[in-house]
Structure 1
């Protein structure tokens, strides 16, 4: 599990979960670049790592600023010559019900979470491909996976990161790049007012960070969604039921409604290895039904 000779970028690491991730990766032996919009906070965390004998750099940049992210990656390459690990942690909240939410707040949250992760990942992707090694973690959320009242913008961005992970894991496989998602629950500045006092005590950020180590080490999985909180870990999956052939015509919609329980039955569900499995299964089902007819 040790990460000696590996280098890592953790975004939004000036506090909360990002700080905990940076400290844990450093404890496991990685050299860590601590990113945050607040340069003082980033430097404090980097100094904390150096204070216990680790190697760390600090870099102030918004993950939505392509030029600043490119400069950050260049700074890391100048210092250490490679980028092995990227933990896309930076994020914000702008919670309101959808009826009261401005589109500006919707765009801002999607921009930071989704586009920020895409910008940072693309900045290191070529390096990882060339060195034939990389580990990328996207930070998703139960709000995206399962929904959360008042978080339409946040939930949309977080579920989009799952889709980004799914495709990048496929594209990165032959280059030794593994891409996963972490869905954390932790007491941070972002969860103030959302969780109860007792829950906040039980959900220390440090209890999530071992999950990051599991997703970035040498033998890490790929295309995994790891849910983590309070020292408890579970895996979420995007599944596909066996379904039922209905066909076409005027009665198709009525039959879907009648058969909806059968269509939804989870007895034969699978976790598709790639997106085209859906269409392959549909074509096969249609062919079988037509041959029977």
Structure 2
């Protein structure tokens, strides 16, 4: 692999296996100095040892990103060990399937604490370090097209939608400090697939994390200069940009809207402009069953 990230220091959360492991090992092969984070220290050490054995440079920063101090420590480790931080991959995340009316507060809180707050804790610390260093940098958030809406994955989908909004906002805020912020929506056969009975019915094992890694490497690299605020979806074979939310035409105006005038608007002009809802409504019929299983674990 070429030296696309030669000399850059990159931290990857949730890198003990699956997508995070692929991102960390590919970054090292591309010349990056890598901080391998995972809540399971043994897994993180195995990945770091593999990188170092094959001539790369990696250190471990174990910890739970849901804890703000432990999240900050990942970035601090990168700066202390390598003298800088140039890139962050916010990959760590949780997922579970349940009908929304059976969801439980403790599970909701745990998932949001990792997927949303954890990414924010790690990301804001990294942005602070990048701003102080004045060299710019790149953050890649791992989101999901499940944020369009997904059966039995409301909490997970909401968390990934939050990462999409966070990506847009960070990209706007960070233009002045030269930091690019993008999100990747991967589809890959990972541990989340193995733990999901629904996903096992249709997830092709050929869609491996290694097929997603080149997208993340590119976005971390200087080759992606000028690319920011983008949601990029990759399933291994397909690569495309996900459209950002926008205000639809027509815009109806009147001085005061009351419930009757709102009803008439929806019965009339707006009826023809209602959006389909949910991920599966946005695909050709033959793709819906396959992608419904895959997107739930991306």
* Band the TM-score falls in, shorter-chain normalisation: 0.7 to 0.9
- Is the 1:243–1:264 contact (alpha carbons within 8 Å) kept by the matching residues of 2? no
Q: Which residue does 1:242 correspond to in 2? A: 249
Report SS of the residue matched to 1:53. Answer: coil
Which TM-score applies when normalising by structure 2? Answer: 0.84
Residue 218 (structure 1) aligned to one of 211, 219, 222 = 222
For 1:112, the equivalent position in structure 2 comes to: 114
Out of 270, 288, 298, the residue aligned to residue 260 of structure 1 is: 270
Larger relative CO (CA 8 A, sep 6+): 1 or 2?
A: 2
For the Cα contact (< 8 Å) 1:243–1:262, is it kept in 2? no
Q: Residue 69 of structure 1: CA displacement?
A: 2.3
Tell me, yes or no, if the aligned pair for 1:244 and 1:263 is still in contact at 8 Å: no
Does 1:209 find its partner at 2:213? yes
Q: In the alignment, what sits opposite 2:137?
A: 134
Larger of the two Rg values belongs to structure: 1
Q: Distance in 1 between matches of 2:114 and 2:202?
A: 30
Listed as ranges, the matches of 1:188-203 within 5 Å are 188-192=190-194, 193-196=197-200, 199-203=203-207
Select 2:45's aligned residue among 43, 46, 51: 43
Aligned CA RMSD, in angstroms, stands at 1.7
| Contact 1:63/1:117 (<8 A) preserved | yes
Contact 2:61 2:73 survives alignment (8 Å): no
1:150-189 equivalence runs, <5 A: 150-189=152-191
Q: Is the Cα contact below 8 Å between 1:91 and 1:109 reproduced in 2?
A: yes
Q: Which residue of 2 aligns with 1:232?
A: 238
Determine helix, strand or coil for the equivalent of 1:159. Answer: helix
Alignment equivalent of 1:86, drawn from 85, 88, 94: 88
Structure 1 runs not aligned, ≥5 long: 266-293
**Deviations 1:153-206, CA, capped at 9 Å, x for gaps:** 101111001111111101100101010111111111111233346633221111
What is the CA–CA distance in structure 2 between the aligned matches of 1:199 and 1:150, rounded to whole Å? 17
* Inter-CA distance 80–39: structure 2 relative to 1 (3 Å threshold): same
Contact 1:10 1:86 in 2 (8 A): yes
Equivalent position of 2:66 in the other structure = 64
Kindly tell me the number of residue pairs found equivalent between the two proteins.
Answer: 264
Which residue of the partner structure matches residue 143 of structure 1? 146
SS of residue paired to 1:122: helix
Name the SS for the 1:214 alignment partner: helix
The 3-state SS of whatever aligns with 2:75 is: helix
Tell me, which stretches of 5 or more residues in structure 2 are unaligned? Answer: 276-298
Alpha carbons of 1:249 and 1:20: their partners in 2 closer, same or farther (altered >3 Å)? Answer: closer
Contact map agreement 2:25 2:51 (CA 8 A) in 1: yes
C-alpha contact 1:246 1:255 (8 A) present in aligned 2 = no
Shift in Å, 1:232: 1.7
Calculate the TM-score normalised by the size of structure 1. Answer: 0.85
C-alpha distance 200-7 of structure 1, shift in aligned 2 (>3 A): same
> Structure 1 pair 67/196, CA: closer, same or farther in 2 (3 Å)?
closer
- Cα distance per residue 1:43-74 (max 9 Å; x no partner): 11011111211111111100111222223322
